[in-house]
Amino acid sequence: MSSDRLEVLRKKIDEIDDKILELIEKRADLARKIYEIKKREGLEIFDSLREDEKLKYIQEKVSSFPKDSAKNIFVEIFSGTRKIWKELKIGYLGPEGSFSWEAAQKVFGNSSAYISYQTLKDVFLYSELGECDYGVVPLENSRDGIVGETLDLLIDHNVKIVHQISIPVSFSFLSSIQDKNKIRRIYSHPKAIAQCSRWIRENLPGVEIIYTNSTADGAKMAKEDNEGGAIGPSRLSHIFGLNILAEHIEDSYGEKTEFIVIKKKDKDDDFFKRRISHRVQMRLSFCFSVKDEPGALFRVLEPLAKRKINMKKIHSRPDRNTRRYNFFIEIETNEKVRREIDEVFADITRNVIFIKVFGEYSLRDF
């Protein structure tokens, strides 16, 4: 009978689950020994490079099981294992449900303590002071470009970049009611409204737009308005108990936002002694300013071009104090670049007024 067959299969799954739990316990015991070594040698508990290598390996290894699901399972295993030694405190911008909160969750998992800050400056300040172990802040959006304030704060504060994560940006229309035709007000952050302007124009023309500090704040206000709706990520529907009336309403498909993970920089940090991986993408970022004269920027970038080092980003920002421009550079790093990095920075340093290295780190893409 099919019911007998079902019971047999379920018993086999129970046996596999028991083995999984046994192996998780053994893994935790080994991780505890690793943390003891890390503590003695002054190493960081969170090793983003090691975790990214493992996640890539896991996705390559699985076949029938969904790759993203396998990735998320191991993010939580990493998170729970870290908590055996220490519950990390993670600062992020905005309320629960914000994109910064999502990025933090995807890096550090559910077994960390999360601290919400209302401004970027607060995330940087309290990361520098050690109130939080790590901070997660937006760096660049594929539609709107670089977050200038983040660049300014990287200069102002004694922090380093230890990781970068890219997450997709998608919006849904949420409401406490089911009938979209009864909506009279839309609540959301100005950027979310702008990114969904075509959908609003075609589906809810003439409704009142009320701007909020975040998409999460908009969802909260929509929850209290029986003629209101909100634009935000679909996860806000679970947080605030709202209905999803439409999904993927953004004007441009495939949009992503890059976030960086920052940490207080120690005086003995040496970015160029960190292990290089050939399995995952790695970046090194720094900023500098030059004299206001012809060829000044060219002379700084020439050492990169001569050695065929790939530059992934370049941005300029006016310095608030000196009135010069600061240039922010992100380059690809690998074993070849690492062998030449001392010479590269010696050449660069000869041609700048100011230089600051932010860090060398791996990238994680969701």
Are the C-beta atoms of 364 and 286 separated by less than 8 Å?
Answer: no
State the pLDDT at residue 1.
59
State the pLDDT at residue 82.
94
Structural domain count of the chain: 2
Are the C-beta atoms of 182 and 175 separated by less than 8 Å?
Answer: no
Specify if 114 maps to a domain. Answer: no
The residue from 230, 246, 262 where one domain ends is 246
The residue from 205, 230, 246 where one domain ends is 246
Backbone φ and ψ of 21, nearest 5°: -65, -40
State the pLDDT at residue 272.
65
Are the C-beta atoms of 358 and 314 separated by less than 8 Å?
Answer: no
CATH code of the domain in which 197 resides? 3.40.190.10
Do 237 and 192 sit in the same domain of this protein?
yes
As a whole number of angstroms, the distance between CA 222 and CA 175 comes to: 6
DSSP code of residue 295: T
Specify if 127 maps to a domain. Answer: no
The residue from 197, 227, 246 where one domain ends is 246
Specify if 311 maps to a domain. Answer: yes
Block means of pLDDT (10 residues each) for the chain, length 366 residues?
84 96 96 92 90 93 93 96 94 92 96 96 96 96 90 95 94 95 95 94 95 93 96 95 96 90 85 73 94 93 94 92 91 88 91 94 86
Q: What does the block give as tokens for 83?
A: 């908590």
pTM of the model: 0.91
The continuous run of DSSP H or E covering 239 comes out as helix 235-240
As a whole number of angstroms, the distance between CA 17 and CA 36 comes to: 29
Specify if 232 maps to a domain. Answer: yes
CATH code of the domain in which 284 resides? 3.30.70.260
As a whole number of angstroms, the distance between CA 105 and CA 4 comes to: 41
Sequence-distant (6+) residues with CB within 8 A of 136 are 90, 91, 92, 93, 100, 103, 104, 107, 123, 259, 260, 261, 262
The continuous run of DSSP H or E covering 65 comes out as none
Specify if 292 maps to a domain. Answer: yes
Do 181 and 236 sit in the same domain of this protein?
yes
Specify if 328 maps to a domain. Answer: yes
State the pLDDT at residue 318.
93
- Domain holding 307, by residue range, is 276-365
Do 230 and 283 sit in the same domain of this protein?
no
As a whole number of angstroms, the distance between CA 38 and CA 153 comes to: 30
Specify if 345 maps to a domain. Answer: yes
Match 């790093």 to its residue by tokens: 333
Specify if 220 maps to a domain. Answer: yes
Do 181 and 225 sit in the same domain of this protein?
yes
CB atoms within 10 A of CB 255: 16
Reported for 81-85, long-range contacts at CB under 8 A and 24+ positions apart, including other chains, are 81/27, 81/28, 81/31, 82/45, 82/46, 82/111, 82/112, 83/111, 83/112, 84/28, 84/31, 84/32, 84/35, 85/31, 85/32, 85/35, 85/45
Do 361 and 283 sit in the same domain of this protein?
yes
